[in-house]
Amino acid sequence: MAKSDKTQHLRVAQQNAIELLLAGKTDQEVAVAVGVSRQTVTLWRNKDEVFRAALDARRREIWGAHVERLRQLVTRALQILEDDLGQDEDRRLRQSAAVHVLKCVGLYGANLEPKEPSLWSPFHSWSDARLEKALKHFWAERGDRSELGSNAD
């Protein structure tokens, strides 16, 4: 059953109740406005499948419209952040803009170190001297020392 079919099965009082509930009114406020008891509004919300389906459909419509409005604001918001990052007068404003950008991409406060040392390099615990010695040995075995330059010895 399509949303418009469900809405057609609702009485005018129920259609008005949906709009009032979506506006944040309480069951009591809705009841007074549409001329029914609070218990009736509560029953509509909790037990009437057609009413609940219509209410949920309107919530999704409104949510979708809000999401679209937010999407339209993204370009402007990014431009403002970019402008704030580029200005020279207020260091705190620049830092705040930078923090907002990092939060948006999920990097603010994130631990960026790999969870396991093996993910960075199998040689992460080797000293520079040990690594250099191993590289010299590798190139010597290959007979190609040009990779280490003239200081390979």
Query: Each residue of 87-96: b (16+ CB within 10 Å) or e?
Result: eeeeeeeeee
Q: What pLDDT, on a 0 to 100 scale, did the predictor assign at position 85?
A: 79
Q: Where are the beta strands (DSSP E) in 10-98?
A: none
- For the chain, helix, strand, coil in percent to 5 are 75, 0, 25
Question: What are the domain boundaries of the chain?
Answer: 3-104, 117-151
> Measured in whole angstroms, how far is the alpha carbon of residue 132 from the centre of its chain?
45
Q: What is the pLDDT of residue 97?
A: 83
Q: Where do we find the tokens 């969870």?
A: 115
Dihedral sign of CA atoms 139, 143, 149, 153 in order: positive
φ, ψ for residue 112, nearest 5 deg: -95, 0
pLDDT value of position 123: 67
11 DSSP assignment: -
Counting beta carbons within 10 angstroms of the beta carbon of residue 14, is it exposed (0 to 12), middle (13 to 18) or buried (19 or more)? buried
Q: Quote the CA–CA distance of 86 and 125 in Å, as a whole number.
A: 40
Amino acid at site 68: E
**What's the alpha-carbon Rg for the chain, to the nearest Å?**
32
pLDDT, residue 1, reads 45
- pLDDT, one tens digit for every residue, the chain (153 residues): 444 455 568 999 999 999 999 999 999 999 999 999 999 999 999 999 999 999 999 999 999 998 888 888 888 888 887 888 787 888 888 888 888 888 887 877 777 776 665 555 666 677 888 878 887 877 777 665 454 454 544
